[in-house]
Amino acid sequence: MELAAALMVAVLAVLAYNGVKIMPLLLALTLAYILLKRFEILDKLGSFGPVPGGKTHISEICFDCIGGQAEAKQELMEALDLLQKSHANSLGVRALGGIMLQGPPGTGKTLMARAAANYTDSVFVSAAGSEFIEMYAGVGAKRVRELFAKARRLARRQKKASAVIFIDELDVVGAKRGKVESHMEYDQTLNQLLVELDGIEDQQDVSLFVLGATNRIDLLDEALLRPGRFDRIVEMNLPDYEGRLEILKIHAADKPLAPDVDLGEIAQQTFGFSGAHLANLVNEAAIQAMRRDDDCLRQRDFLDSIDKVQLGTAREGLLSSEEKYRVAVHECGHALISETYFPGSVSTVTVVPRSKTLGFIRQKETSSPVLQTESYLHKQLGVLLAGGTAEQLILGERSTGAANDYQRAVELSELIISHGLSRLGIVNIRNLDKDVLTKVTGEIISERGKEVEQILEQQRSALLAGADVLMRQERISGEEFRKLMCN
């Protein structure tokens, strides 16, 4: 539509330039526009571009369909109860503004918004922040107005007392003002959103519940978070063991499972997975069973899908056997030091090359400390250095396979320095001379590297045995690995 308008202006300009009288044409166009607008034809066609909120419906998702997130669900339900009450209170309590769902991708923020619509018996209108932004100034603001108008219209049409408006990726449209290039458009869009949030109370016939979602709350303009706007923040976190088990059960509920399936074990092995990862995992397991022409999903299908979902598709034949042995030695080095510093921490070691990695050790779920001590950080550093050190020890030289480990080791050393845990004492790392920073980082890494080398030398036979097992079977469980270390 924007393009059509721009073209129209260009055509009129060319006509005028060529001496054609454009006034009658202009009048006719204006009249046509007024008539179309009067009968809401443009609105139905999408007016100036698509009205955000293309996804509108009565939501069938309920809070029981969401696994884990018990606290977030409780908090959201309480906030919704409060919203409903404050919209219809006789005590003059200020109505709550919006609710912000914040958390990592795939943790179920969209599901929560849909469940909110179901819970409050509202129509559900959703839009992503990126849908508002166009190159032309003013379009975003217009789309925000239309989204709110559309929610009210739909609620009235469906005879509902309320509508839930869900704005995903809120950071795109709600970033701190003046921080974005082509800021005029972004600022106008955000200003319009603030105006609409402030006007929520004015429309008495339809209550609007505005839910926003973001992975980066730190990017949001403070005006959005002040009382009366998004003044309730609901945190969504990656699920813990219980949460993962619940989510797996929800997604496996409509699938035939073989008696050997132990979802508890799968939940153990999927530390760090989001709800979206887990949904994908169950789906991948079903695909595997279908490929086998089986009539049910087996434990093996789930176990094989874990690596695929997290690390990408297997790349058969990518490595020569020498390279595979190097990867096996490298991963066993990581696993050995991890077990030495954090006993019981290794869940699996694999050397199947995948799109995101050549080999991998999966750690068991451990409650990582909120406050990390100096010794804890040095041990983590040791685990990172162990892969390259094992290669050096067994194969006589390192390879590019350790590049990512070393990058993270440098970052960890800088963290140690910036927290005043190095020999430099309490310093502002930004004011440190670059040479001093490089020297001290090097010292921290080489000191820890020496200790790692000593441990690996003492455990040389376990290192070699682990690498041999991996060459044969490509995967070794934490239990098997710990047995090798004891021999």
Binding site for ligand ATP (CB under 6 A): 66-69, 105-111, 168, 213, 215, 247, 250, 275-276, 279
Q: Which is nearer to ligand ATP, 122 or 348 (CB)?
A: 122
Angle at alpha carbon of residue 48, lines to 47 and 54, rounded to 5° = 70
Q: Which is nearer to ligand ATP, 240 or 374 (CB)?
A: 240
CB 460 within 8 A of CB 434: no
Q: Provide, rounded to whole angstroms, the least separation between the CB of residue 365 and ligand ATP.
A: 17
| Cα→Cα distances 130→126, 133, 266, 479, Å | 12, 6, 36, 47
Residue 229 identity: R
Q: Which is nearer to ligand ATP, 86 or 215 (CB)?
A: 215
| CA nearest neighbour of 194 among 251, 125, 134, 148 | 148
**Cβ atoms < 10 Å from Cβ of 1:** 13
Q: Provide, rounded to whole angstroms, the least separation between the CB of residue 62 and ligand ATP.
A: 12
Dump the DSSP string for 268-325.
HHTTT--HHHHHHHHHHHHHHHHHTT-SSB-HHHHHHHHHHHHH-SB-TT-S-HHHHH
207-214 and 162-168 as β-strands: parallel, antiparallel, unpaired? parallel
Q: Provide, rounded to whole angstroms, the least separation between the CB of residue 63 and ligand ATP.
A: 10
Retrieve residue 343's tokens: 């006993």
CB 146 within 8 A of CB 47: yes
Looking at residue 241, the DSSP 8-state letter turns out to be H
CB 53 within 8 A of CB 150: yes
Q: Which is nearer to ligand ATP, 263 or 485 (CB)?
A: 263
Distance CA 381, CA 414 (A): 11
Q: Which is nearer to ligand ATP, 281 or 335 (CB)?
A: 281
331 is an active site residue = yes
Q: Which is nearer to ligand ATP, 100 or 383 (CB)?
A: 100
Q: Provide, rounded to whole angstroms, the least separation between the CB of residue 108 and ligand ATP.
A: 3
Q: Provide, rounded to whole angstroms, the least separation between the CB of residue 269 and ligand ATP.
A: 18
| Cα→Cα distances 231→204, 223, 226, 397, Å | 21, 10, 6, 57
346-350 and 475-477 as β-strands: parallel, antiparallel, unpaired? antiparallel
| Cα→Cα distances 143→117, 146, 200, 480, Å | 22, 5, 16, 59
Distance CA 24, CA 130 (A): 39
Sheet containing 162-168: order of strands: 55-57, 123-128, 162-168, 207-214, 98-102, 230-235
Q: Which is nearer to ligand ATP, 180 or 238 (CB)?
A: 238
- In terms of residues, how long is the chain? 487
Q: Provide, rounded to whole angstroms, the least separation between the CB of residue 259 and ligand ATP.
A: 24
**Of 75, 196, 331, 391, which one is the catalytic site residue?**
331
Q: Provide, rounded to whole angstroms, the least separation between the CB of residue 308 and ligand ATP.
A: 17
Distance CA 225, CA 233 (A): 9
The set of residues, in sequence order, having a beta carbon less than 8 Å from that of 451 and lying 6+ positions away, is: 382
360-363 and 346-350 as β-strands: parallel, antiparallel, unpaired? antiparallel
Q: Which is nearer to ligand ATP, 132 or 341 (CB)?
A: 132
Q: Which is nearer to ligand ATP, 310 or 422 (CB)?
A: 310
Residue 401 identity: G
| CA nearest neighbour of 351 among 379, 322, 380 | 322
Q: Which is nearer to ligand ATP, 245 or 261 (CB)?
A: 245
List, by residue number, the catalytic residues: 331
